[in-house]
């Protein structure tokens, strides 16, 4: 199991902003694609955003332009900046790394089974 620790979730109103963080071992940041995923009650886990070892990003369509994924390799921390939050963004958010090193490239953001999870997640609740 991968050691990942998510934090930063909270309850906010529609239109609000949050910044999620994920701490991970150094080797993950240097070698692997990483991503943020979310799961709402009664729904399957879905991809939100990914970032490869070179810093290239990809987003799920409904968050494009509102969310921003980034990482600080010196602090071994992955971030997800979320703006203009909507009630449908409410979910447990998880960070993950790609199953394979794959030269640091990412699998498509919707290919959840290509990623491995290890944290407890952090809850985001957006009220209308």
DSSP assignment letter at 107: P
Give 31-58 as a DSSP string: H--EEEEEE-TTS--EEEEEE-TT--EE
Find the Cα–Cα–Cα–Cα dihedral 125, 60, 46, 77, rounded to 10°: -70
pLDDT in tens, the chain (128 residues): 778 999 999 999 999 999 999 999 988 888 999 999 999 999 999 999 999 999 999 999 999 999 999 999 899 999 999 999 999 999 999 999 999 999 899 999 999 999 999 889 999 999 99
Q: For residue 68, give the 3-state DSSP assignment.
A: strand
Distance CA 34, CA 28 (A): 8
pLDDT score of 92: 98
């Amino acid at each position: 199991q991968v050691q990942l620790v998510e934090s930063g979730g909270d309850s906010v109103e529609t239109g609000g902003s949050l910044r999620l963080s994920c701490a991970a071992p150094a080797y993950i940041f240097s070698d692997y694609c990483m991503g943020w995923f979310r799961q709402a009650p009664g729904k399957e886990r879905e991809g939100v955003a990914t970032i490869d070892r070179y810093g290239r990003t990809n987003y799920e369509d409904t968050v494009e332009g509102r969310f921003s994924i980034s990482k600080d390799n010196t602090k071994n921390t992955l971030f997800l900046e979320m703006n203009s939050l909507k009630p449908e963004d409410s979910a447990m958010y998880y960070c993950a790394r790609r199953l394979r090193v794959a030269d640091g490239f990412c699998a498509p953001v919707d290919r959840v089974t290509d990623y491995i999870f290890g944290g407890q997640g952090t809850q985001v609740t957006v009220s209308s």
